[in-house]
Amino acid sequence: MVYEVGDIVKLKKPHPCGSHEWEILRVGADFRLKCMGCGHQIMAARSLVEKNTRGLRKGE
């Protein structure tokens, strides 16, 4: 799968706010993700994001 800045990924487990969708803000060895529900930002390892991705939607 090819990940690009602005794409929306649907992850396996929900964020505590209830949202499964995250916007990609940075791509590399680590990803910076922003929760689409509450706006919380996290850094996650590429391998973790690739393993837990359940869907990918291209950003606008």
Residues 22-59: pLDDT tens digits?
A: 999 999 999 999 999 999 999 999 999 999 999 999 97
Does residue 14 lie in a domain region?
yes
Residue 36 falls inside a structural domain: yes
pLDDT, position 16? 96
Q: Which of 33, 54, 57 is nearest to 45 (CA)?
A: 33
Mean pLDDT computed over 1-9: 94
Which domain covers residue 43, as residue numbers? 8-57
Per-residue pLDDT, averaged over 9-33, amounts to 96
Stated pTM of the model = 0.90
The number of domains in the chain is 1
Instruction: Tell whether 2 is covered by a domain.
Output: no
Question: What CA–CA distance (Å, rounded) separates 7 from 10?
Answer: 10
**Quick check: is 31 in a domain?**
yes
Kindly state whether residue 48 falls inside one of the protein's structural domains. yes
**Is residue 37 included in any domain, yes or no?**
yes
Confidence (pLDDT) at 60: 67
> What pLDDT is recorded for position 59?
74
